[in-house]
């Protein structure tokens, strides 16, 4: 292998290891310095061997980077007009590469359909459909589509490259967003979704992994893989009864596979994302996807300000309206939602959310329904006052008992006197009376 080829390979290996977050920039800089020193000596070494030798990478990580380089070169040699720089990531449905668009000398991202799906017409159609749908959208907060095509059996979708991170990267590290930062991000996303809805499109998979944040702080909504046109009745009927979405953020009507899904499903998912951002946890947790989805359908949402008590009542009310189980109880449009999001961000109460809560309470009163009342363990009277009342009651009972006994005693005495009086009267009605007098003898009475 010629020296310049080795240098090219070493550069590519190091860049790809960094892109895949297998090493830090400092570690790569040190390896490059040592590589340059050793390449002029009698014992030259390649970047992959050096990084393993210095324990920057494990042998298996180095082998994985090598495989990515080979794969990238295969892709690069097939897609005209682009040079693949490295692999950014992969999922169940696609592999994404970082590349250079040669004609405009700009960095782009290329999504490639894996070979195992190429022979399946429905996957190919869905891949093309994602590209066509993305091309309809032109908004600063949506990843821009550039090209979609096929060459030599390789299906590719070229899009804007966002240098930064995903929202999921922050959340997976345990970050809990402050209210203002979270609102700034969600407002950008709501604007992006408002634009999509205006074009008759629903995203159906709003979640942290599909939200990019550039180094400049610009938020970008990505991945239109599940996006559907609201007017596509044929697709809606074909998907009837099937749940499309991500369990942690999916709307109840998507779980049920309803036909008439609209933009309010995206409002629910955006609410779930905002909930996760400000509380540090997803709205519903369980050990299996099916149990998570059951909770979305049946369980009451724990208000976010009950988890993070530093949150304002306003943002909590907004999230609860966004995540209402019945879509009729949510915000009707993204425009309505934006009114409340901006109000809360500016320190004002959410007008529309407050109206929703007030109308719901009024409706329950009109219908004669019981309104749930929050219960607390707070006592109306202190234990000391209660004890005093108890002593007073006991004393009153004792006094009443004594009084009753006195009344009974007096009643008995009165009864005895009455009986004695009757006995005396009956004795005087006879011929003689025996009168006992210690000083006199009995005297006859005629």
User: What's the rounded Cα separation, in Å, for the pair 444 and 446?
Assistant: 7
Active-site annotation holds for 205: yes
User: What's the rounded Cα separation, in Å, for the pair 108 and 145?
Assistant: 10
Backbone angles phi, psi at 360, to 5 degrees: -65, -45
User: What's the rounded Cα separation, in Å, for the pair 165 and 185?
Assistant: 13
209, 166 in Cβ contact below 8 A?
A: yes
Choosing from 205, 223, 305, 340, which is the catalytic residue?
205
| Interacting residues of 284 by C-beta distance below 8 A, sequence separation 6+ | 248, 292, 295, 296, 299, 301
User: 289-304 in b/e burial notation, b at 16+ Cβ within 10 A?
Assistant: eeebbebbeeeebebb
Q: How many CB atoms lie within 10 A of CB 170?
A: 17
Q: What are the Cα distances from residue 160, in Å, to 63, 100, 143, 214? A: 29, 11, 6, 12
Backbone angles phi, psi at 241, to 5 degrees: 85, -5
Using H for helix, E for strand and C for coil, what is the string for 98-146?
A: EEEECCCCEEEEEEECCHHHHCCHHHHHHHHHHHHHHHCCCCCCECCEE
**Residues belonging to the active site:** 205
């Amino acid at each position: 292998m010629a020296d310049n080829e080795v240098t090219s390979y070493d550069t590519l290996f190091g860049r790809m290891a960094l892109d895949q977050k297998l090493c830090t920039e400092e570690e790569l800089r040190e390896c490059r310095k040592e590589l340059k020193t050793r390449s002029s000596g009698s014992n030259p070494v390649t970047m992959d061997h050096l990084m393993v030798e210095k324990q920057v990478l494990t042998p298996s990580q180095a082998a994985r980077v090598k495989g990515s380089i080979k794969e990238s070169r295969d892709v690069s040699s097939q897609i005209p007009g682009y040079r693949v720089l490295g692999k950014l990531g992969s999922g169940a449905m696609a592999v994404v590469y970082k590349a250079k668009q040669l004609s405009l000398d700009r960095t782009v991202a290329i999504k490639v359909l894996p070979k195992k799906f190429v022979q399946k017409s429905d996957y190919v159609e869905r891949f093309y459909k994602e590209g066509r749908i993305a091309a309809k959208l032109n908004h600063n907060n949506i990843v821009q589509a550039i090209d979609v095509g096929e060459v030599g059996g390789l299906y590719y979708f070229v899009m804007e490259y966002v240098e930064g991170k995903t929202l999921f990267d922050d959340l997976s590290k345990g970050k809990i967003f402050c209210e203002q930062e979270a609102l700034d991000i969600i407002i950008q996303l709501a604007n992006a979704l408002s634009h999509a809805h205006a074009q008759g499109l629903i995203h159906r998979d709003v979640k942290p992994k599909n939200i990019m944040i550039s180094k400049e702080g610009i938020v970008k909504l990505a991945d239109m893989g599940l996006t559907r046109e609201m007017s596509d009745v044929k697709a809606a009927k074909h998907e009837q009864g099937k749940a499309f979405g991500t369990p942690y953020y999916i709307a109840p009507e998507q779980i049920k596979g309803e036909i008439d899904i609209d933009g309010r499903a995206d409002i629910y998912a955006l609410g779930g994302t905002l909930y996760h951002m400000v509380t540090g946890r997803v709205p519903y947790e369980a050990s299996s996807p099916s149990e998570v989805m059951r909770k979305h359908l049946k369980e009451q949402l724990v208000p976010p300000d009950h988890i993070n008590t530093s949150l304002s009542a306003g943002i909590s009310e907004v999230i609860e309206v966004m995540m209402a189980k019945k879509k009729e109880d949510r915000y009707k449009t993204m425009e309505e939602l934006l009114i409340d999001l901006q109000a809360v961000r500016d320190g004002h109460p959410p007008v529309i959310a407050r109206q929703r809560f007030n109308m719901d309470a009024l409706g329950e009163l009109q219908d004669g329904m019981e309104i749930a009342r929050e219960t607390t363990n707070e006592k109306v009277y202190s234990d000391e006052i209660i004890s005093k009342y108890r002593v007073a009651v006991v004393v009153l009972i004792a006094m009443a008992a004594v009084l009753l006994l006195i009344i009974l005693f007096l009643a008995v005495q009165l009864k005895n006197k009455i009986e004695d009086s009757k006995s005396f009267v009956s004795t005087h009605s006879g011929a003689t009376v025996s009168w006992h007098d210690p000083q006199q003898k009995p005297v006859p009475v005629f």
